[in-house]
Structure 1
């Protein structure tokens, strides 16, 4: 049991869970008229601290799987793949939207995106969570931990399917195909570069551009 708790895979997941639920616990001690402000700012703080904590765990720990045991590509290539990954994610997203809209009759709008854009309109600092710290934490959890851990057990495709489906369901948006495709792209980037930095870059760039575009449009 002690070895399980010390596992870097478990540590990363626990950090993610704590970051999600810390704002909820904090609200019990906040006056009613300050609850929404406290929820927003405590979530930002939780994700900043959680991201830093994950980087520390990542630096100090060994993730024993085929992906991590293979040397990563050069740093320049990691950055290039991260940028290219943003465009790959966009292409996958548009294909998923086409299938969801015209074949599955799922409304094109995203309540998740709309809600986040509305929050950023009122709390600009929240953009840091969406564009930087959210992607960092999600890539560590869904790619580094879940995809990486399952890679040698189920194979690359199986690991990508499982991690991408969990990634899709955790967004509670109804656009399961869309988020799953994005998850597949980020899994591919991690597999291609053997560095979690590549999907973090792609995910961060995508979140930032989508949010800013929505802010400008609306």
Structure 2
């Protein structure tokens, strides 16, 4: 069974351009004051209007690229932004990772139904690696995908994953990409809103988006609505 599902050309060109520009501006190191965008995740209820261009992309486009059973059961998504400069694997501070959240009714930790990555740029390294079982450099039961502009990738939310490097998958380098920054929007699909208690190094988990952080995303969706 395939671990990773792919959707190429997941967003209309205009939406992709607006989203990439907004994420690039919002995640500039000087804009974040040394903070990492991986430390902040936000909650979007699918029953409510989008508050920024990320949520608009989820509601209008990405929801159509997930399995029907997930689309039926999901009440909302947890989303956050990613930005890595080369060497991508070395700069991904979390290393191996598995998505988890707290069930507010039981207090138990659980994983989302589906984890996903929306790639906004091409890069020449930094593949997403997903492991079927316990992760290790020698694991054979794994799959990988290289970032490609407008590629949307989904995988079961309980699986371990990481940002690797080309040596990990022994692939020849692709053609020189247009971009060097690895820009992504990461989206977890949940059947309930996970609790917002965060353990280090996370600073904020599944919190309500009020526009005080990443105002560039809110301005982008307002601009898109005006132009349409």
The answer to whether TM tops 0.5 is no
When Rg is computed on C-alpha atoms for both structures, the one with the higher figure is 1
| Bigger relative contact order, structure 1 or 2 (CA pairs below 8 A, ≥6 apart) | 2
Q: Where on the TM-score scale, by shorter chain, does this alignment land: which range?
A: under 0.3
Length-normalised TM-score, structure 2: 0.27
Higher strand content, 1 or 2: 2
Length-normalised TM-score, structure 1: 0.28
